[in-house]
Amino acid sequence: MTVLVAELEGQARASAAPSDDPDERDGVALRAGRDAEFTAFATTAQGELGRMAWLLTGDVHLAAELVQTALVRTYTAWPRARAGDPMAYARRVLANARIDLWRRRRREVLVAPDDVPTVVGRDDGAAVEHRDELVRALAALSPQQRRVVVLRYLVGLSEREVADDLGVSTGTVKTQASRGLHRLRASMGELPGGSRD
């Protein structure tokens, strides 16, 4: 493997070196352009992907792993991804990776918040409590309901977009969203500003 990686790195170095061959120069320029485009995209998208991954997993480390996987796979398919909506592509990969993780672990992962400060002030304590409550409420949903609820209500996609991202019908999205929302409401109760009464 070391040999393989060294060989690949050697190829990368060789291809990055100046060349007299116009075709080779074009290839290097194309790659550099692609890398710059992808980097700009990833820098912009990382916040939203990170939020989505955290809402799906309830764990910062798992979320970071998921986003990393989504970005690597999006880069691998960059020409195709950029031809449409790269963000939608990355979201879709992230959702697929999430499914894979669930399949692999065979159970939901519910982890206490990672970033609990050592000294918790009154306001910080409320934030941690609210975060924990949200994580637990989302974890109580079925995986499919959680994905639909996160994409539909927390990421703010349309029913059509959620259906496209998850590869299901809009009818399924409507049903899952409605059931998921009611379970979430039952679990979390009223929120400040959450009623028009």
Residues whose CB is less than 8 angstroms from the CB of residue 27 and which lie 6 or more positions away in sequence, other chains included: 15
Shortest reach from residue 148's CB to other proteins, in Å: 13
Which residue, 97 or 162, has its beta carbon nearer to other proteins? Answer: 97
Which one, of 142, 151, 154, lies nearest residue 180 by Cα? Answer: 142
Q: Which is nearer to other proteins, 32 or 142 (CB)?
A: 32
Q: From the CB of 22, what's the least distance to other proteins, in Å?
A: 13
**Residue with smaller CB distance to other proteins, 2 or 118:** 2
In angstroms, the CA 132 to CA 150 distance is 16
Shortest distance (Å) from residue 20 CB to other proteins: 20
Neighbours of 154 (CB within 10 A): 14
> What's the farthest any 2 CA atoms get from each other in the chain?
73
The three-state DSSP-derived secondary structure of 76-138 is HCHHHHHHCCHHHHHHHHHHHHHHHHHHHHCCCCCCCCCCCCCCCCHHHHHHHHHHHHHHHHH
* Pick 79 or 121: Cβ nearer other proteins: 79
Name the minimum Å distance from CB 52 to other proteins. Answer: 9
